Amino acid sequence: MGVFDSGVGGLTVLHECLVTMPHEDFVYLGDHARLPYGPRPLEEVRRFAREIGAYLQGQGVKLVVNACNTATSAALPQLQAELDVPVVGVITPEAHAAVQATRNRRIGLLATEGTVAAGRYAELVHALDAGVELVAVACPRLVPLIESDDPFGAETTEAVREYAARLKDAEVDTVILGCTHYPLIKPIFQRVFGRDVELVFSADETARKVAETLARKGYENDVDREGSYRFLTTGDPEAFREMGARFLQLPVAEVEHVELAELGVTA
C-alpha cells in the first residue's frame, strides 16, 4: 500500500496502519522538497497529490492512503477518479468520529490554513448532522513548532492556548485535530482543553477504514506473513530518518531519495 504526506506527519497514520495490518506491505512517500502544503493554494496542492498518487500507483501499490489533511481536502475526489486503485483520505473518518462523539453538537477543528479554507470538514460534518456547529481555526504556527527540536516547549503551549481560545469560547465538547502532526503533542492539547473535551484524530479511524476497504475488495495479504515497509522522500533522507522515528515510534532505517522529476514534475 502507498501512503503519502507533505512530510513526516503522515507517519502517525502509517503507525496505526502497521499496528492494524502487520501482514501488509507499505511504501511511504514524504514530499519534503515542497512542504509545507498548508499555506499553498489548494490548486497547487491538488497537483502535487495527483503527481504522487500516480507515482505510487506506478510502484504497484494496491491502495493509496492520502495521509495529509490538506491534500485530502484539496484532491481526494480527483485521486479517486483518476487512479485505478482505491484511495482513502483522512478527513471522512475524522468527521464521522467527531459527529459520533459530540454531546452538545458543537465541534471544533484545528488544522492548517489550506484545510480550513477548503471547507471539506464542514461539508462532511453537516452531511452527517446538519445541526452541528463547526468552529474551524487555522493554526499556521503549529507544524513548524512540532517539527522543531523542542516540540513540547513553552512556545508550543502558548500557540495551542491561542488557537484553542476561540473553541473554548464556543463551548465545543469535541475537537478534531485536523493535521497529522498534531497527535505528537496530544498531551498539550489535552492539558489545554481538559478532560471534558474529546480529541479526535484520524490515524486509528483511517487505519480501520483501510482494513475494511481491503477486506471488502478481497485485497488482503495472508495474515500469517510479516509485512514490510519502505520510506521515500523528495527531500533529505537523513533528516527524514531522524525526525521520522519520532513520528512513527518505530525504527526508521534506510530512506530512499526520489527526485521531483520522477514524480512527473515539469516545473
Does residue 25 surpass a pLDDT of 90?
Answer: yes
Does residue 28 surpass a pLDDT of 80?
Answer: yes
Percentage of the chain modeled with pLDDT above 90: 91
Position 267 scores a pLDDT of 47
What are the distances in angstroms from CA 154 to CA 87, 145, 151?
Answer: 38, 10, 9
Q: Would you call 179 a catalytic residue per the annotation?
A: yes
* Residue 185: alpha-carbon gap to chain centroid: 15
Q: Which residue segments constitute the domains of the chain, with CATH numbers given? A: 2-89+204-263 (3.40.50.1860), 91-201 (3.40.50.1860)
Question: What gap in Å lies between CA 263 and CA 267, rounded to an integer?
Answer: 11
Which positions ≥6 away from 196 have C-beta within 8 Å? 173
- Please report, to the nearest 10 degrees, the dihedral formed by the alpha carbons of residues 54, 55, 56, 62 taken in order: 50
Please write the tens of the pLDDT for every residue from 167-206.
999 999 999 999 999 999 999 999 999 999 999 997 888 9
Q: Would you call 17 a catalytic residue per the annotation?
A: no
> Which cell numbers in the block locate residue 253?
532505517
21-30, 189-198, 218-227, range with the lowest pLDDT = 218-227
Which residue in this structure is represented by grid cell 460534518? 125
Catalytic-labelled residue, pool 109, 160, 179, 207? 179
For the packed helices 11-20 and 202-217, what is the interaxial angle rounded to 10 degrees? 50
Q: Are 56 and 4 in contact (CB under 8 A)?
A: yes
Catalytic-labelled residue, pool 8, 68, 136, 200? 68
Using alpha carbons, select from 74, 30, 36, 73 the residue that is nearest to residue 52.
30
DSSP string, 193-210: H-TTSEEE-HHHHHHHHH
Position 253 scores a pLDDT of 87
